[in-house]
Amino acid sequence: MHYICCIIETKCTMNYLVFKNKMFDLGCFSINQVYAWQPNFDRNNFVRWTKNGLLMRLRQGYYTFPEYRSKPDFDLYFANRIYRPSYVSLHTALAFYGMIPEAVVQVTSVTSLKTSNFSNDFGEFSYKSLRDELMFGYDLKPFADGRTLQLAKPEKALLDLLYLYPFYNTKQELEELRLDADFMQDDLDLKLLKDYTLQFSNKALEKRVQLLINTYKL
């Protein structure tokens, strides 16, 4: 009986090693990707391997491997992958560029899907909804091992923030953002900011942008 159990355990381990060898380089993956590779894959493996610490669940139907916890910025990459279409923006993008001083406790993104939130061992992931036509102004930044990261340009991250958080409509509220003065003066593309603003076709946003320009003396 012990011999049979050892054979079964070894078989399970080998199945996992084959699975890991196939899926690891994806960074994270969906169960649909697994079934495309192995249509008869046993769904119970996801539960068993997660329970044993061999996989980590990112959200329903999406997984990664625990080794990625030690790799920098993979939480941003996962944010792109587990809820699509989306790109990292708002406070997370502003922090990425060093435009705000605070550490960000959530990975914040925008999406053309409904507003949603996910929590997993990598942290909190927040998605704010924008109309399809407002899903622009982000770069495909080179990332680890040939991957790309969809990240808002600084100007678009600011506009997404002012649009989705309309309480930033006073000089005091904008000052409390504590946007980095050097970045705002030297690195922010004011023409691009204004061009992007016009694409929103939103008078209230235009007023908040002008207030931002006046507040930071751009």
Instruction: Give the pLDDT score at 10.
Output: 41
Phi, psi of 181 (to 5 degrees): -60, -40
Which helix (H) or strand (E) segment is 116 a member of?
strand 116-120
The pLDDT of residue 2 is 43
Q: How does the average pLDDT of the chain come out, rounded? A: 93
CA diameter of the chain: 78
Q: Tell which of 16, 34, 69 closes a domain.
A: 69
Reported pTM: 0.90
**Does one domain contain both 98 and 197?**
yes
Rg (CA), the chain: 22
pLDDT at 172: 97
Domain of 41 in residue numbering reads as 2-69
pLDDT, residue 4, reads: 39
Same domain for 128 and 189, yes or no, is yes
pLDDT in tens, 6-62: 434 444 445 999 999 999 999 999 999 999 999 999 999 999 999 999 999 999 999
Q: What's residue 142's pLDDT?
A: 93
Residue 77 lies in a domain: no
Q: Please tell me whether residues 155 and 118 are part of one structural domain.
A: yes
Helix ranges restricted to H, the chain: 2-23, 31-37, 44-51, 74-82, 90-96, 154-164, 171-176, 181-182, 190-200, 203-215
78 inside domain: no
